[in-house]
Amino acid sequence: MKTIAFDTHLYIKKLKAVGVPEEQAEVQAETIAELLEDNLATKRDLKELEQATKRDLKELEQATKRDLKELETNLIMRLGKMLAVTAGIIIAALSALIKILV
């Protein structure tokens, strides 16, 4: 839970001292307190965000490594198949050429 140090009582007191009506000073103090609570990040918020970002980056790194390994494996398998097909074609062509020449 966020904890922002904002003394509404002191703020109201200061506004009243310079001639701001009490009701207006109270509304201003409440509004500022709500804005601070809803929109400011605390050190704790930033630390949690930092930790979450580090976790996300670590997970992304691991997923990327897995994907690259899978891609490498698939590429090696495809190259092996292509090599086998090419070797088969060459053997068949040589075999046919030998039959023609003999």
Buried b (16+ CB within 10 A) or exposed e, 64-100: eeeeeeeeeeeeeeeeeeeeeeeeeeeeeeeeeeeee
What does the domain layout of the chain look like in residue ranges?
8-101
Q: What is the CA radius of gyration of the chain?
A: 36
Distance CA 3, CA 36 (A): 9
Task: Report pLDDT digits (tens) over 30-65.
Answer: 999 888 887 788 888 899 999 999 999 999 999 999
Place of tokens 């001292």: 17
pTM: 0.53
